[in-house]
Amino acid sequence: MAGGTARRLFGTDGVRGVAGSEITAALALALGRAAVLQSAADSPRVLVIRDTRESGEMLEAAIAAGLASAGAEVLLGGVLPTPAASLLIRRHGLDLGVVLSASHNVYSDNGIKLFGADGFKLADEREQQIEEHLEEQGEREARVGRIRELHGAREDYVRDLHHRFQSLSLEGLDVLLDCANGATYRVAPAIFERLGARVSTLAVEPDGRNINADCGSTNVETLVRAVTAGGHDIGFAFDGDGDRVLAVDRNGQLVDGDELLMLVALHLLEQDRLPGNGIAVTVMTNFAIVAALEQAGIKVASTAVGDRYVLEALRERGWALGGEQSGHIIELGFAPSGDGIASALLVLEALGAGDLSQRRRIEKLPQRLVNVRVRGRGALGEAAIVQAAIASETQALAGRGRVLVRPSGTEPLVRVMVEAPSGEEADAVCGRLVAIVESELG
């Protein structure tokens, strides 16, 4: 892949695919080596953390070997949420970070995400350089690095959370945490208990294959039932790598990322802690939420779907808060990454002594979202019939709703989203578009 090979490995959230066939030990080793060869540091110090997938240990060993074979000092942090990488890189002055995770995907997938010395995910250009030099031997061929454990990494992360939210008292709060059998299964209960909450848990027994399985932020039905059945004050559901969170109020009502972000934004605005009085959202954010934020005096920038694009918008504008409907909430005052645990605590900070069920409610436009499996992520742009259908439905909803059809950045899916004045119309429009996408691209 040397030379000018087109970018094809890295998506919007690193390299991701089926472990063992697409995300192989050989690929991990090559990526690790290439990342060091492209590093400005002579002997870079590199953090490696992972989630709970059964393939994680294999990929951890492989990428550590690749990094060390080019002269890096590799520090293994073990199982930790993705956002811990940003904090640990900054805390220890490291040159690079690697996170092995496929986030909310099924256990059989895995992925490789790279972070720079500033704690931010690597820019597209840097990923491109790494990918183009996967087979390059380079001047460091004969160098031998070291691999060792980063002792205390988990406590470092919990300590950073505690320092940020030390003024938040959760005494008397009965909270239920769904940790998705993923990377938050130890650290999330630890910080909530440290802040005084009465903590109950779901999905905290990872076995390598049950990550995100009928649990977590992509499968919230179990949490909804458990919150009401157990009489809990609030519930939070994280995803497999811990950078997303959704909430459930005491009445069993799901509160998505849009609503959580609005709650936090209004709180920070009131506290004069919202830089630029602006936030960044994605095109998936419900129009009614955007209108409510703007009415409150908050500037709103809309980006493509993906937390890296939200981050880019924040950095360009000097803002600090942004997020996605899926539950990614980024607050740069804490870390340059979405952090599900920190976001949950920020929501509780915004609520004060209040009750999530008493939050300000916005009448959102009915929204329908369907994921359609297709031949490949690039097929959508070449499908003239699909594009014509999208244009027709968009014109019919002009001024009343909207249509968004886009390829997934991480899976061979096309996501069809429709907002319309009524649920019936949203269902009808979405159904017609899904049928065409399936017919043309399936």
Question: Of 130, 134, 114, 133, which Cα lies nearest the Cα of 122?
Answer: 114
What is the DSSP track for 36-90?
A: HHT-SSSS-EEEEEE-S-TTHHHHHHHHHHHHHHTT-EEEEEEE--THHHHHHHH
Task: Identify whether 108 is a catalytic site residue.
Answer: no
Question: Which of these is catalytic: 103, 326, 337, 408?
Answer: 103
- Distant-in-sequence, close-in-space partners of 337: CB < 8 Å, separation ≥ 6: 82, 83, 85, 86, 115, 119, 120, 121, 243, 307, 311, 330
Taking Cα atoms as reference points, which of 311, 357, 378 lies closest to residue 338? 311
* CA geometry: angle 330, 326, 417, nearest 5 deg: 130
Q: Return all residues near 153 (Cβ < 8 A) that are at least 6 apart.
A: 49, 77, 78, 80, 84, 88
Cα(233)–Cα(127) distance, rounded to whole angstroms? 43
CA distances in angstroms from 45 to 31, 36, 73, 274, listed in the order given = 16, 10, 5, 34
DSSP string, 266-327: HHHHHTT-SGGGEEEEETTS-HHHHHHHHHTT-EEEEE-SSHHHHHHHHHHHT--EEE-TTS
- Least Cα distance to 352 among 173, 89, 108, 223 occurs for 173
Q: Which residue numbers are catalytic? A: 103
